[in-house]
Amino acid sequence: MYTRVWVKVRGRDPTAVDWGRRIAEYLQGKNMEVYVDPILRHSVSLPQLSEHEAWRADLAVIIGGDGTLLQAVQRSGAKLPPIVGFTVESLGYLLPHRVEDYAKVLDGVVNGLYSVRKVMLGEFSLGEHRGFFLNEISIWGLRGKLIEYSLYVDGVEMFRARSDGVIVSTPAGSTAHALSYGGPILLSLDKPMLEVVFAGGLSSLLKPIITYDSSVSIRVEKHPAFVVIDGQRELSLEYSQTVSARPSRTYLEFIVAEPHVNPLEKLYLRLTDLNRWKPSPLAHGR
């Protein structure tokens, strides 16, 4: 039974903040101990917990989109309680519920009518830097330059190559940035897998690879580069430095109210939305 709830909303979004206020008040009406993030604290008179303190709650309600979730993961160091996610004016994927259904969804959570999905995280190391990623780490050159690198799987050299970049993705991230560069979709979000996608590779041999319970390392051979973690953090990757990634033994848990969302249907809607094409206003006028 969840009794201490932390509510986080998408920043600089008055619509998400308004929904967050309604949900916080609703949870209070269920006699729950409710805490809010610093943004929502400006709109409701409830105790505040930052992302770094979210672990003190036993349930997190995140309101916004997948970017809001990624921000929470990075700021908390992936120390988050089980998550109930609501999307606001976006499809989302890992935050599967429509915010308009919050009362039905939260009633289901209170009454035990839900399932729990485990989602694997990745972990990375770069020099003294260590951390987790939910979607991906990506390596890119500076000022439009190609990067030249060696790629290793479990210490065995697989490629020496040049490309615009390299994306190392978790199964959860396979529907995000990696997908836009031709990576496959991995449906089993709880499996210790990583997907490597080469962005703008200069060789036809550079095809996406999938590893299982293995480490992936990328060593820069020429030119400095930079590493982006979940689109939230950026680190320098100097010449001859190596960044390593592997599946983590740490998982995030997502609460899914099954009567109100089907994860595969949500994925289908996300993919068809990503691939939609809208004619320009000029095309309509012809």
CATH (domain of 207): 2.60.200.30
What tens digit of pLDDT does each residue of 258-269 get? 666 676 777 777
Number of Cα atoms under 13 Å in the Cβ half of residue 60: 30
Give the 3-state secondary structure of residue 102: helix
With bands split at pLDDT 50, 70 and 90, how would you rate the model's confidence at 279?
Answer: low
User: What does the alpha-carbon distance between residue 114 and residue 2 come to, in Å, rounded to a whole number?
Assistant: 13
CATH number, domain of 58, equals 3.40.50.10330
What tens digit of pLDDT does each residue of 196-254 get? 999 998 888 899 999 999 999 999 998 889 999 999 999 999 889 999 999 999 999 99
With bands split at pLDDT 50, 70 and 90, how would you rate the model's confidence at 277?
Answer: low
> What's the domain count of the chain?
2
Q: Give yes or no: residues 63 and 163 share one domain.
A: no
Tokens linked to 243: 């960044």
Q: Quick one: pLDDT at residue 247?
A: 98
With bands split at pLDDT 50, 70 and 90, how would you rate the model's confidence at 58?
Answer: very high
Beta carbons of 264 and 117 less than 8 angstroms apart: no
Q: Give yes or no: residues 19 and 39 share one domain.
A: yes
Domain that holds residue 198: 122-249
213 is catalytic: no
Question: Catalytic pick from 66, 107, 190, 230?
Answer: 66
Average of pLDDT values for 128-136?
A: 97
With bands split at pLDDT 50, 70 and 90, how would you rate the model's confidence at 144?
Answer: confident
Number of Cα atoms under 13 Å in the Cβ half of residue 142: 12
Q: Give yes or no: residues 177 and 97 share one domain.
A: no
What is residue 281's DSSP assignment? H
Q: What is the 3-state secondary structure (H, E, C) of 34-50?
A: EEECHHHHCCCCCCECC
Give the 3-state secondary structure of residue 22: helix
Q: Quick one: pLDDT at residue 274?
A: 59
Q: Give yes or no: residues 141 and 36 share one domain.
A: no
Q: Quick one: pLDDT at residue 224?
A: 87
Q: What is the 3-state secondary structure (H, E, C) of 200-226?
A: CCCCCCCCCEEEECCCEEEEEEECCEE
Taking CB atoms within 8 Å and a gap of at least 24, the contacts of 233-241 are 233/74, 233/131, 235/126, 235/129, 237/126, 237/139, 241/126, 241/127
Q: Give yes or no: residues 42 and 159 share one domain.
A: no
Which one is predicted more confidently, 240 or 60? 60
User: What does the alpha-carbon distance between residue 24 and residue 89 come to, in Å, rounded to a whole number?
Assistant: 19
Q: Is the pTM of this model over 0.95?
A: no
